[in-house]
Structure 1
Amino acid sequence: VSWNSILSGYLKSGNLEKAQRVFDEIPRKDVVSWNSIVSGYAKIGKMDEALFLFQQMPERNLSSWNTVISGYVNCGSMESARSIFDSMPIKNNVSWITMISGYSKCGNIESARLLFDQMNEKDLFSYNAMIACYAQNGQPKEALGLFNQILELDSKIQPDEMTLVSVLSACSQLGDLRLGFWIESYINKHRIHLDDHLATAFIDLYAKCGNIDKAYELFRGLGKKDLVAYSAMILGCGINGKAIDAIELFEEMINAQICPNLVTYTGLLTAYSHAGLVEKGYQCFDSMKDHGVSPSADHYSIMVDLLGRAGRLEEAYELIKSMPLQPHAGVWGALLLACRLHNNVQLGEIAAWNCFKLEPDTTGYCSLLSNIYASVERWDDAGRMRKVVDEKGF
């Protein structure tokens, strides 16, 4: 058995301490030995140790450089990753794609696109990374634009399952069911395998676009239902007013010992809100911490909407004041909408002024407050708000 095989065995079993001892005892360390130990430290985020060993290497190959870049990317240290990337004597597509994916994870779309444009030889994997970057960071039109570029290349680059998952995500964000149908026919035409990952992307699209029966059909046909699939179905049921189905799916998921995440609770709380089940919604909201999930501002927004629909405006306001994190405009906007629904001027003013502070250029808040004033015949105040809207050019 070679030294490198022993070293690899310890690293695969997660025993880095013994791996280091073996590495130290290797009489003639080659580039494989060095790459293995550097990778071992990088994979568990010990980048100081990984970098120290990398700098001691007598010779490096592309794998050496890419290992360190990948380690920094996984730690979210993009400045360090970029420094190593810029120092590389020769880069391959793995180097570029790792950096693009890293920028994508931290939401730096501009830097990702700049690198993508600098690539001399773009392959399917580089296109997939950039399309995913756009889709995952809320720029669906740009994702679809890049997908069209692939199609215009004729047969030079053929989209695969990963491409289509990102494209379907973009379709979901735009509510574009027609393109979803086109992709389905494209899959059949090119005999692309509809794996669970791709099927889940279709489930998300169909559910969000209101075709809940089609989503259910795909969901029940999945070989293995995971967190993403359950969350997509629960959210789909929630936004389509199928509260009972959402609750049943959630219980099925818990029984399958799949832990819910933020998206799961967004769907479930939305279902309770649309069904007007206030107490059930409260129980669900309070149970989030039991599953190790901390409510986000979006979850508070749904709860404010739930209470607001039920006319419990004071309760909604108290919930906002109790938030352990800063309320965003969506939270105050939910309260403002509820105040418009129930003609509550006092809380409506509080909600509106907070919305103005957070999003001063959004005139919809002025219109809502104007309508609240008009509902109680405060015509001067209503006119003043209308004037603000007119002055902003809307």
Structure 2
Amino acid sequence: MSRVGLCPSTFAVSSTLRACARIVDKIGGRVVHGQAYKYGLCTCVYVQTSLVDLYSKLGDMGTAQKAFDEIVDKNVVSWNAMISGFVDCGRIESARGYFDKMPQKNNISWMAMISGYSKCGDVESANVLFSKLPKKDLLSFNAMISCLVKNSKPKEALQLFDQMLKHHVDIQPDKLTLVSVISACSQLGDLRFGSWIESYMKSIKVERDDHLCTALIDLYAKCGNVQKASELFNSLEKKDVVAYSAMILGFGINSKIDEATKLFKSMVDARIPPNSATFTGLLTGYCHAGLVEEGYKCFAMMKDHKLTPSTDHYATMVDLLARAGRLKEAYEMITSMPMQPHTGVWGALLLACKVHNNAQLGEIAAKHCLELEPETTAYYSLLADIYASVGKWGEARNLRKVVKEKKLRNLPGSSWMESTT
């Protein structure tokens, strides 16, 4: 239907529905839908597509699906709305079903699916989809590189970036690409490659904005160059919560807790609400400094800022208590957690049990670690060392025999192991 064939009422209704979708206005959207139905406008493809978009944005996929099914001539926009809606709701299989049925795929639908798999941690499916993409462009590379970085696969992200540069010379990276690549370098602690990225940015005349500077702050801080990170932080035109959190974490992991707390105070004074990452940085600083009581106060302060501690916050607190030899308190904190502890939590306790020769809690921690990751060598080895330290030589030998017989894999890099180095 051409623009000329649209009556003003259908055009106005469609536009208003799209506006409601943009601002996620549930009440307004339903009112407009009711008016459209009253005046018999819901048979217009533009109105129908706008309804699909609206209810997808609202997360009401049942109503979105009903509106979609009523469209006789479905277009790319309506298909993409359904796919994106299911992705945003975390229903990746439903999204994939619509993606597979879609007659003609454009890049938006491919990107939505890759993003969806990224959110649910299914990197393999995202990679398979990416490999099948008929024509790869900058958007698709950005989506896949970002997927790898967000799912802690920095080496693979850098390899894909290198592949893009070598085999797709017509594609020039943009700021989004470089932010992801710098983040990959941060995860690896690879300052050399990060420095090359800075030079590369200059060669392709990409100007550093606050987003790129924040990524570089994170990189330099995690690689130990706090002075360079501070210089970049001070050069920012606008300091937001992401920049503050990156710098606070940088101070924290480099045992500069005084600087971290001062910066946190400056952030609060500037009326910038802290987020979960901010408190991760502070707690990490207290952990490295061994300041248990300050850590407790910081942990409790999260509620004052209407933040709920995550599993990682608990893991840092457990690590702090365990390092200080307060193993019973660490165990009590684990048992009081409102969510299921992951191996980072139990692993921190297990490692501390080795340091402090506590076989009783060491057995408990190892049991939980092995239930979660039964084929990881390090847990068996740590428990064997604990048994040996308290004279339980038979138990130690048996565990080492199990490791040898099963030829279990070595422990991959994990936060609780890295935090002790």
Normalised to the residue count of structure 1, the TM-score between the two structures is 0.91
Of residues 176-185 and 335-344 in structure 1, the stretch that sits farther from structure 2 once superposed is: 335-344
Matched, 1:19 2:37: no
Distance in 2, Cα, partners of 1:105 & 1:357: 25
Contact 2:229–2:247 under 8 Å retained in 1: yes
Residues 106 and 390 of structure 1, relative CA distance in 2, 3 Å threshold: closer
Q: Secondary structure at the residue paired with 1:347?
A: helix
Q: Secondary structure at the residue paired with 1:368?
A: helix
Matched, 1:307 2:321: yes
* Cross-structure match for 2:266: 252
Per-residue deviation, 1:278: 0.7
How many residue pairs match? The answer is 394
Distance in 2, Cα, partners of 1:33 & 1:356: 55
Residues 338 and 131 of structure 1, relative CA distance in 2, 3 Å threshold: same
Q: After superposition, what is the alpha-carbon deviation per residue over 1:252-289, rounded to whole angstroms, capped at 9, x for unaligned?
A: 23333333333222211111111111111011112223
Distance in 2, Cα, partners of 1:96 & 1:201: 27
Distance in 2, Cα, partners of 1:379 & 1:110: 43
Per-residue deviation, 1:329: 2.4
Amino acid at match of 2:137: D
Distance in 2, Cα, partners of 1:85 & 1:346: 53
Matched, 1:324 2:338: yes
Q: After superposition, what is the alpha-carbon deviation per residue over 1:38-68, rounded to whole angstroms, capped at 9, x for unaligned?
A: 2222222222222222222232321221122
Contact 2:311–2:341 under 8 Å retained in 1: yes
Matched, 1:69 2:83: yes
Equivalent residues in 2 for 1:221-260, closer than 5 Å? 221-260=235-274
Distance in 2, Cα, partners of 1:350 & 1:57: 58
Per-residue deviation, 1:97: 1.2
Of residues 367-376 and 135-144 in structure 1, the stretch that sits farther from structure 2 once superposed is: 367-376
Equivalent residues in 2 for 1:354-365, closer than 5 Å? 354-365=368-379
Distance in 1, Cα, partners of 2:67 & 2:387: 69
Structure 1: gaps of 5 or more residues? none
* Cross-structure match for 2:104: 90
Distance in 1, Cα, partners of 2:369 & 2:72: 59
* Cross-structure match for 1:203: 217
* Cross-structure match for 2:60: 46
Contact 1:41–1:47 under 8 Å retained in 2: yes
Matched, 1:213 2:227: yes
* Cross-structure match for 1:132: 146
* Cross-structure match for 2:8: 2
Per-residue deviation, 1:17: 3.0
Contact 1:45–1:75 under 8 Å retained in 2: yes
Per-residue deviation, 1:381: 4.7
Contact 1:339–1:372 under 8 Å retained in 2: yes
Q: Secondary structure at the residue paired with 2:183?
A: helix
Equivalent residues in 2 for 1:361-372, closer than 5 Å? 361-372=375-386
Q: After superposition, what is the alpha-carbon deviation per residue over 1:200-256, rounded to whole angstroms, capped at 9, x for unaligned?
A: 111111111111111111122222222222222222211111111221222223333
Per-residue deviation, 1:386: 4.4
Q: Secondary structure at the residue paired with 1:163?
A: helix
Distance in 1, Cα, partners of 2:373 & 2:104: 46
Q: After superposition, what is the alpha-carbon deviation per residue over 1:343-372, rounded to whole angstroms, capped at 9, x for unaligned?
A: 333333333333333333333234333444
RMSD across aligned positions (CA)? 2.5
Distance in 2, Cα, partners of 1:108 & 1:329: 20
Distance in 1, Cα, partners of 2:18 & 2:330: 53
Amino acid at match of 2:361: L
Distance in 2, Cα, partners of 1:20 & 1:27: 9
Per-residue deviation, 1:21: 4.1
Matched, 1:109 2:115: no
Contact 1:234–1:264 under 8 Å retained in 2: yes
Q: After superposition, what is the alpha-carbon deviation per residue over 1:90-145, rounded to whole angstroms, capped at 9, x for unaligned?
A: 11111111111111111121221222111111111011111111111111121111
Q: Secondary structure at the residue paired with 1:354?
A: helix
Contact 2:36–2:42 under 8 Å retained in 1: no
Structure 2: gaps of 5 or more residues? 1-6, 409-421
Distance in 2, Cα, partners of 1:241 & 1:95: 45
Of residues 352-361 and 295-304 in structure 1, the stretch that sits farther from structure 2 once superposed is: 352-361
Residues 58 and 219 of structure 1, relative CA distance in 2, 3 Å threshold: same
Q: Secondary structure at the residue paired with 1:57?
A: coil
Distance in 1, Cα, partners of 2:105 & 2:289: 55
Per-residue deviation, 1:378: 4.8
Distance in 1, Cα, partners of 2:233 & 2:315: 28
Contact 1:74–1:102 under 8 Å retained in 2: yes
Q: Secondary structure at the residue paired with 1:273?
A: helix
Per-residue deviation, 1:183: 0.8
Per-residue deviation, 1:180: 0.7
Contact 1:363–1:392 under 8 Å retained in 2: no
Distance in 2, Cα, partners of 1:329 & 1:10: 46
Matched, 1:336 2:350: yes
